[in-house]
Amino acid sequence: MDLCASFSSISNKPPPPLSLSSSFSRHQLSLHPNSLQLLRSHFSHRGHFIRIPPPPFSRQNNLPLLHTRVSDPTQIDDFVLEDVPHLTNFLPDLPSYPNPLQKRQAYSIVKNTFVNPEDAVAQTIVVQKDSPRGVHFRRAGPREKVYFKAEEVRACIVTCGGLCPGINTVIREIVCGLNNMYGVQDVLGIEFLLFTMLLLELIQEGYKGFYSKNTMKLTPKVVNDIHKLGGTFLRTSRGGHDTNKIVDNIEDRGINQVYIIGGDGTQKGASLIYEEVEKRRLQVAVAGIPKTIDNDIAVIDKSFGFDTAVEEAQRAINAAHVEVNSVENGIGIVKLMGRYSGFIAMYATLASRDVDCCLIPESSFYLEGRGGLFEFIEQRLKENGHLVIVVAEGAGQEFVAAEVHTVGEKDASGNKLLRDVGPWLSNKIKDHFTQFPKMAVNMKYIDPTYMIRAIPSNASDNIYCTLLAHSAVHGAMAGYSGFTVGPVNSRHAYLPIARVTERPNTVEVKGRMWARLLESTNQPSFVTPPDQQRVDKEMIKDTNKINITST
């Protein structure tokens, strides 16, 4: 493309040099070597906006290029599209077909039935006047062309990891979406295997279900009411991932669409399955639906089940508040989910307004000494006569581990094995207040973890799960693979799996939301222990002396 000519058309002065270069990692390049750029970039030059025309389409799929960055030292624009793999990357002769959705009566009222191939979703929407446009993702939704015939599709669904409200809704809507929107009749659920050896012993679930021949035929009638149930209709497990065995079974069963519902480890497994599928050059679309009740998945706005968890946590907090308010010097501790991220604890605290202190993994705290938790409890009991503490399961693990002398133990999914901080904190508070006979405390401890995990999703999460499932179905039918879905700035997008697994999403303890919580509870920030506070004060005194001497 002749960018210099475009500059010359609006300015008499010679334009600055401009380079068009791809920007993506070696790993991402290996996933998508044959993609072509379609998205158009607009950028400012001396007050004018210039449209950069797209490069030629691919004859096979008209797909945009993976990551394209338009950059120049003199320009403020910097557009990056982080794309996802497509089956035609390694199957260039794969035929396409008209999307049957255009004939559906329900979609006849839609002005634009299909997503514009140029649509992208910005990762960051708050920008400054002269800041670059930054990273974008491909917008999710139905495409004009699909790469599967309905009668040739054999899809499967698998759930892995811990329980979370909304899993059954996602399963239901994948089945109904495939059937109602695209006419797909053959959908399998990869479920558990009961192996009889004197007794029935459960040995295969989740990813392990791929190794067995035990599947369930899923139809809209079969899954019609499962969204009203908690847990997962297909059962689940942790661990058990063997990529080659899984892909062997996918190939043996003639499966060509795989929908994988799970958290961080599960999504990493989905990425490995896609890579093996690509290596074998199989026409198999692998779609991930991210799941974690902790809301610790990066990039996306929130994970499904989170709203339900926060809402249900209110019941436990309210119960604790009633209990401690009914006795003298009542202390209630409510332990909530949150291995590495304290979002449920933080949002439940903000929603409740009955919580006096919230402890999360991202914000360290200390017990003894000036400004410590014990001192805060004493002050609050003297003021109000009762106190409610919400603690995330991952908070204070350094203290618990130090006392029980544990090493880096891990569970079946490879996660660090956490110690139960709730009883530990309760005992610590009890032991402390036995030293104050005039202030006997009444401890109430509530752990609603499994009650929250096991309930059906609420209305908000049901709608959200429907959108996630439909986005995954549209993406798989359109030939995308090795992707995950989720809302980015309230718009659903297709994301490279590596982006949602590269790091966990955590509470920003220097951000406004955490500041709002501190304002609500009026708790200390527990930023520094007493010894550090003393050092800081001495440094301030020394600085003041120097300033006085200088003046």
Supply the residues annotated as catalytic.
294
* Dist CA 448 CA 232 (whole Å): 19
List residues forming the annotated binding site for ATP.
162, 238-239, 263-266
Contact 39, 120 (CB under 8 A): yes
Q: How many CB atoms lie within 10 A of CB 33?
A: 11
User: Measuring CA to CA, which residue among 448, 355, 342 is closest to residue 394?
Assistant: 342
From residue 295, give the alpha-carbon distance in Å to each of 23, 53, 292, 300, 380.
Answer: 29, 39, 6, 9, 31
Contact 316, 446 (CB under 8 A): yes
The overall longest dimension of the chain from CA atoms, in Å, is 89
* Dist CA 468 CA 500 (whole Å): 15
Separation of CA 221 from chain center: 30
* Dist CA 361 CA 505 (whole Å): 12
Contact 270, 260 (CB under 8 A): yes
Interacting residues of 270 by C-beta distance below 8 A, sequence separation 6+: 258, 260, 262, 286, 288, 482, 484, 497
b/e map 328-363, b = 16+ CB within 10 Å: ebbbbbbbbbbbbbbbbbbbbbbebebbbbbbbbbb
Separation of CA 439 from chain center: 44
* Dist CA 420 CA 403 (whole Å): 12
List residues forming the annotated binding site for substrate.
292-294, 337-339, 393, 450-453
Interacting residues of 456 by C-beta distance below 8 A, sequence separation 6+: 165, 168, 169, 227, 228, 229, 230, 308
b/e map 244-269, b = 16+ CB within 10 Å: eebbebbeeeebbbbbbbbbbbbbbb
* Dist CA 158 CA 173 (whole Å): 14
